[in-house]
Structure 1
Amino acid sequence: MNGLFQRSMEEHIPLEMIYLSENQQLSQRKLIVKEMNGDTIRAYCLLRKQIRTFRIENILSILPDSNPKKWVH
């Protein structure tokens, strides 16, 4: 997982994530990782169009974007 985060940061490659929020809501997001901080990542969320913080333990699935356009943020 850390390898995907690192590649997203270095090459601005979007990742597809399934995430379980603190209130037990599932969401599917596309994001570009900006920073890793121990048990969290800060990433530009392409759904919300803003920087968000995600807890790594709540990430259920993470893969490279299956529809790779070049995102620049």
Structure 2
Amino acid sequence: MKRLFERSIKNKETIVIFYMDQENKVTQRYVCVLKFNDDYALVYCYYRKKVRTLKLENILSAGPRKGIA
């Protein structure tokens, strides 16, 4: 996941993640990573249409965006 996040930052690429929120609801989100550390990722979230801080432990999976214009 670290390499994917680094590539998103470097190339300003949108990636897709599956994220579990505080209420244990899983959502699919398209994000662009702005920066991250061992615990959190600062992303622009297209689902919420704003910059969000996400706990890395709540990101269930992440991958490159495919088939989205």
Same fold (TM over 0.5): yes
Structure 1 residues 40-55: aligned runs within 5 Å: 40-55=40-55
Q: Which residue of 1 aligns with 2:58?
A: 58
Q: Which residue of 1 aligns with 2:27?
A: 27
CA RMSD of aligned residues (A): 1.1
How many Å separate the matches in 2 of 1:44 and 1:24? 21
Tell me the percent identity: 33
How many Å separate the matches in 1 of 2:36 and 2:29? 17
Which runs of at least 4 in structure 1 moved beyond 3 Å after TM superposition? none
How many Å separate the matches in 2 of 1:52 and 1:33? 10
59-68 vs 42-51, greater mean Cα deviation? 59-68
- Per-residue displacement from partner, 1:29-68 (whole Å, max 9, x unpaired)? 0000001132100000011111001111111110000125
How many Å separate the matches in 1 of 2:56 and 2:24? 15
Q: Which residue of 1 aligns with 2:17?
A: 17
Structure 2 unaligned segments of length 5 or more: list them.
Answer: none
Q: How many residues align?
A: 69
